[in-house]
């Protein structure tokens, strides 16, 4: 049985959990707070980040969300999410990287720092200017997603792919932290409603991080 | 013919150029300074970063160094660099991600910002404290590479892989910018000397960025 080291608001762990859910792979959640830099965790992953996925019977230790996703794509036939020609696979991976990097650093990471880490760890008030910047960046990313959906059924093309789950993982954490204003983004909203309705999304939407509560619309199918 | 949009000190473009060289794929270099945010370039890559690899006859536009490397692995048989079992491929990709992300953000990026962008673009003096921090981080990363090489012939195992080229790409840019102190890192030094001697490395070592010159040892096989 796989064990996944993660915490409820880790967007990269969410990406992996979506994939595990879509592929119907059983796993056990293990709560890890990477900011505590627990010795045993850093021994498993010198980069010190969640998610880490472990099969202690093998033993196999998989580190880094994209590494885990590529591994699952290579080893599990069901529900392929990096599929098609080499060029189409490149387009899926380009968008995954865009959401894992740009969207994360410009939106999710500052929201997590200001609204989660400062509250739970540093006991500081959030910086309003940084929050405004993150929300402005969120708006630009939703504009780009709107534009993609003007041309495509799903983000990378006609078929649901890992790009959709990578985007939904970042956006769901940002939405939990009150950083997403959906007004004026009808394409993105419709797409995200379809993502929310997937069985792989339900257990994640139901989870709560201690102390920090999401806005009312967060887990609503209509929002 | 592939065209690669890059600039001489872009570590991610170097990673792709190593792979193209090892696989014997011809390409044309196109100079791009991503900090200028040229409209035509941002149209090709909304993330605004090098490298971008284009085949205008197809047409195909590939964005993001790891996306390009995965594409080349999937489409070119010669000199496979993400090979072996799914678990071994995961180990190669884990290290690639460690070097592309942690080593880049902790070492290469601050060196590039202080010693390249501040000089070429912002006309500011470098911040000595940030440079010291980057060099201290470089030392920790070399410690980890020393440790890997205590246990393995190459960074990811018995066979040369993309992990070696990802590390060499970051380290070569950091070394160009005077950020690497090789003393006390005999394993890393031997490994890097072997990397430097590869034909795919030679044209890159011979290149210079305008205004900024590397230290004397930079392109020496013995250093």
Residues B113 and B149 in one domain: yes
**Would you tell me how many other CB atoms lie within 10 Å of the CB of residue B188?**
23
Whether B52 contacts chain A with CB within 8 A? no
Residue B223 in any domain: the answer is no
Residue B64 — left, alpha, or beta (φ > 0 → left; ψ -120 to 50 → alpha)?
Answer: left
Q: For residue range B135-179, what is the model confidence (pLDDT) as tens digits? A: 999 999 999 999 999 999 999 999 999 999 999 999 999 999 999
Residues A26 and A125 in one domain: no
Distance CA B92, CA A191 (A): 34
Contact list, B51 vs chain A (CB under 8 Å): none
Q: Is the pLDDT of residue B218 over 90?
A: yes
Residue B218 in any domain: the answer is no
Beta-carbon contacts of A161 under 8 Å, excluding residues fewer than 6 positions away, are: A81, A82, A83, A92, A154, A155
Q: How many angstroms away from the CA of B67 is the closest CA of chain A?
A: 6
Distance CA A105, CA B105 (A): 12
Q: For residue range B80-91, what is the model confidence (pLDDT) as tens digits? A: 999 999 999 999
Residues B70 and B136 in one domain: no
Residue A138 in any domain: the answer is yes
Distance CA B73, CA B65 (A): 12
Residues B61 and B125 in one domain: no
Residue of A34, A87, A96, A151 to mutate for B, most B C-beta atoms under 10 A? A87
Beta-carbon contacts of B84 under 8 Å, excluding residues fewer than 6 positions away, are: B92, B157, B159
Number of domains within chain A: 2
Report the candidate in B158, B222, B157 with the shortest Cα–Cα distance to residue B196. Answer: B222
Contact list, B71 vs chain A (CB under 8 Å): 86-87, 89-90
Contact list, B94 vs chain A (CB under 8 Å): 62-64, 67
Q: Is the pLDDT of residue B223 over 90?
A: no
Contact, A81 vs A162, CB < 8 A? yes
Helices (H) and strands (E) in chain A, counts: 9, 4
pLDDT the model gives residue A15:
98
Whether B66 contacts chain A with CB within 8 A? yes
Q: Is the pLDDT of residue B222 over 90?
A: no
Q: Which pLDDT tens digits describe chain A residue by residue (223 residues)?
A: 999 999 999 999 999 999 999 999 999 999 999 999 999 999 999 999 999 999 989 899 999 999 999 999 999 999 999 999 999 999 999 999 999 999 999 999 999 999 999 999 999 999 999 999 999 999 999 999 999 999 999 999 999 999 999 999 999 999 999 999 999 999 999 999 999 999 999 999 999 998 899 999 999 988 8
Residues 161-200 of A with CB under 8 A from B: none
Residues A97 and A177 in one domain: yes
Q: Return the CATH number at B34.
A: 3.40.30.10
Whether B60 contacts chain A with CB within 8 A? yes
Indicate yes or no: CB of A47 within 8 angstroms of CB of B93: no
The structure tokens 């501040």 sit at B118
Paired tokens of B200:
């795919």
Residues B132 and B161 in one domain: yes
Contact list, A98 vs chain B (CB under 8 Å): 46-47, 64
Paired tokens of B158:
């018995």
Q: How many angstroms away from the CA of A221 is the closest CA of chain B?
A: 30
- ipTM of this complex: 0.96
Residues B28 and B61 in one domain: yes
Residue A142 in any domain: the answer is yes
Residues A48 and A110 in one domain: no
Whether B43 contacts chain A with CB within 8 A? no
pLDDT the model gives residue B21:
98
Q: For residue range B17-28, what is the model confidence (pLDDT) as tens digits? A: 999 999 999 999
Contact, A21 vs A199, CB < 8 A? yes
CA dihedral A131→A136→A138→A143, nearest 10 degrees, is 170
**Mode of pairing for the β-strands spanning A27-31 and A2-6:** parallel
Contact list, A76 vs chain B (CB under 8 Å): none
Contact, B146 vs B187, CB < 8 A? yes
* Chain A to chain B Cβ contacts (< 8 Å): 63
Contact list, A70 vs chain B (CB under 8 Å): 89-90, 93
Cα Rg of chain A (Å, integer): 17
Residue A223 in any domain: the answer is no
Distance CA B83, CA B159 (A): 9
pLDDT the model gives residue A218:
96
Indicate yes or no: CB of A62 within 8 angstroms of CB of B94: yes
Contact list, B86 vs chain A (CB under 8 Å): 71, 74-75
Residues B194 and B103 in one domain: yes
Which residue, A75, A106, A122, sits at the end of a domain?
A: A75
Residues A35 and A7 in one domain: yes
**Mode of pairing for the β-strands spanning A52-55 and A2-6:** antiparallel
Q: For every residue of B147-163, which 3-state class applies, written as one string?
A: HHHHHCCECCECCCCHH
Residue of B nearest to A99 (CA): B47
pLDDT the model gives residue B221:
85
Whether A102 contacts chain B with CB within 8 A? yes
Whether A218 contacts chain B with CB within 8 A? no
Distance CA B53, CA A106 (A): 25
Q: Is the pLDDT of residue B72 over 90?
A: yes
Contact, A12 vs A50, CB < 8 A? yes
Question: Which residue range is the domain that position A58 belongs to?
Answer: 2-75
Distance CA B197, CA A222 (A): 60
Residues of chain B with pLDDT > 90, as a percent, come to: 96
Paired tokens of B41:
């370039």
Q: For residue range B188-216, what is the model confidence (pLDDT) as tens digits? A: 999 999 999 999 999 999 999 988 999 99
**Mode of pairing for the β-strands spanning B52-55 and A27-31:** unpaired
Q: The dihedral of CA B101, B103, B106, B108: what is its sign? A: negative
């Amino acid at each position: 049985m796989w064990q996944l080291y993660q915490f409820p608001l880790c967007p990269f762990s969410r990406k992996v959990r979506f994939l595990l859910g879509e592929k119907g792979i059983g796993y056990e959640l293990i709560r890890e707070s990477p900011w505590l830099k627990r010795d045993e965790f850093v021994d498993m992953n010198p980069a010190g980040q969640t998610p880490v996925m472990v099969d202690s019977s093998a033993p196999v230790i998989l580190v880094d969300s994209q590494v885990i996703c590529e591994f699952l794509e290579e080893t599990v036939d069901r529900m392929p999410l990096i599929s098609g020609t080499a060029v189409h696979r490149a387009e899926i991976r380009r968008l995954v990287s865009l959401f894992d990097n740009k969207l994360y650093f410009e939106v999710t990471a500052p929201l997590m720092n200001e609204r989660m880490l400062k509250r739970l760890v540093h006991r500081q008030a959030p910086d309003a200017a940084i929050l405004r910047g993150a929300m402005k960046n969120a708006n630009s990313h939703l504009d780009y997603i709107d534009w993609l959906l003007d041309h495509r059924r799903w983000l990378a093309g006609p078929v649901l792919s890992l790009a959709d789950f990578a985007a939904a993982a970042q956006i769901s954490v940002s939405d939990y932290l009150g950083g997403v204003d959906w007004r004026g983004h009808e394409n993105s909203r419709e797409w995200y409603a379809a993502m929310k309705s997937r069985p792989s999304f339900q257990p994640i939407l139901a989870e709560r991080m201690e102390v920090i509560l999401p806005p009312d619309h967060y887990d609503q199918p209509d929002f």
